[in-house]
């Protein structure tokens, strides 16, 4: 694992010097700021039941669906397109170290983007003067959910980047998979034909994988180890698929 940190440091550095990172960060903050402003406007006109933080984090899927593909689609696809994967893998570096290093860098950037939204809460606390608007529970729970679910989302992005040498294809597949697991679970949870007795195990599995339900639990302060395990095992699975994907492309090239 000695090369993991070399690759991680290199990847983080390359992300930090790349203009596209800053463009993405500005776009992300603009959209999140816009959403936040809308929420505050609603709160100022009429009192609401839930804290603004839970409403704010409930649109987590918007940045996930658009930001995660943008952050990750480049990481392995670009190496293959340029052919630099060949120089990379002919050094004493394992495929695992390469994939983990790139995954780690993308995940750190994802966290950094979300961390920047804490500025919105700071501004609210500084100027609203109403302590009820700042409820630490949902804020901590929300960020925790972002951090844990981000593990899985970013690993899906890395996996799709391993599939194609074309960044656009990788990004589109990533968006599709993310939409499927975020909204597909919600849809499957609501369909009626799954309510049959014989399909009960499938129903149980579907409800176990409900990401929107996980979100509600986290913001309510319920941290269920089964949910943590869901994201961790999913992450490990997609990372193993990424490693196998990179190696399979070599074997059959």
Q: Which of 91, 190, 198, 225 binds other proteins (CB under 8 A)?
A: 91
Tokens found for residue 4? 């993991």
Q: How far is the CB of 86 from other proteins (least distance, A)?
A: 5
Q: How far is the CB of 83 from other proteins (least distance, A)?
A: 3
Distance (Å, rounded) from C-alpha 56 to C-alpha 139? 9
The answer to the question of residue 45 lying near other proteins (CB under 8 A) is no
Q: Exposure string (b/e) for 43-63, b if CB count within 10 Å is 16 or more?
A: beeeeeeebbbbbbbbebbeb
Encoded one letter per residue, x for contact with other proteins by CB under 8 A and - for no contact, window 3-22 reads: x--xx--x---x--xx----
Three-state DSSP at 208 gives helix
The answer to the question of residue 126 lying near other proteins (CB under 8 A) is no
- Give 89 or 147: the residue with its C-beta nearer to other proteins: 89
Distance (Å, rounded) from C-alpha 224 to C-alpha 186? 19
The answer to the question of residue 250 lying near other proteins (CB under 8 A) is yes
Q: How far is the CB of 82 from other proteins (least distance, A)?
A: 5
Which residue in the block uniquely carries the two structure tokens 């049959």?
196
Tokens found for residue 106? 């993308």
Distance (Å, rounded) from C-alpha 231 to C-alpha 217? 14
Tokens found for residue 229? 């395990």
Task: Assess contact for 94 and 123: CB atoms under 8 A.
Answer: no
Q: Which of 47, 126, 193, 252 binds other proteins (CB under 8 A)?
A: 252
Q: How far is the CB of 97 from other proteins (least distance, A)?
A: 9
Provide the binding-site residues for other proteins, judged by CB under 8 A.
Answer: 3, 6-7, 10, 14, 17-18, 82-84, 86-93, 250-253
């Amino acid at each position: 694992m000695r090369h993991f940190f070399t690759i991680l440091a290199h990847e983080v550095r390359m992300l930090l010097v790349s203009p596209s990172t800053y463009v993405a960060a500005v776009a992300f903050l603009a959209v999140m700021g816009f959403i936040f402003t809308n929420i505050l406007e609603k709160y100022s006109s009429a009192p609401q039941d839930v804290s603004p933080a839970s409403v704010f984090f409930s649109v987590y899927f918007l940045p996930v669906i658009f930001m995660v593909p943008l952050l990750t689609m480049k990481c392995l696809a670009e190496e293959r397109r340029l052919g630099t994967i060949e120089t990379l893998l002919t050094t004493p570096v394992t495929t695992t170290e390469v994939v983990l290093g790139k995954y780690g860098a993308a995940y750190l950037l994802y966290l950094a983007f979300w961390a920047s939204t804490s500025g919105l809460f700071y501004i609210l606390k500084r100027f609203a003067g109403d302590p009820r608007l700042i409820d630490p529970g949902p804020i901590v729970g929300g960020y925790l959910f972002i951090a844990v679910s981000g593990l899985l989302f970013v690993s899906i992005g890395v996996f799709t980047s391993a599939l194609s040498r074309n960044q656009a294809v990788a990004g589109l597949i990533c968006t599709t998979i993310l939409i499927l697991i975020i909204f597909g679970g919600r849809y499957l949870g609501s369909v009626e034909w799954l309510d049959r007795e014989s399909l009960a195990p499938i129903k149980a599995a579907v409800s176990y994988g409900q990401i929107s339900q996980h979100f509600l639990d986290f913001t309510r302060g319920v941290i269920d180890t089964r949910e943590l395990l869901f994201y961790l095992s999913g992450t490990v699975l997609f990372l193993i698929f990424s490693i196998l994907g990179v190696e399979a492309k070599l074997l059959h090239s």
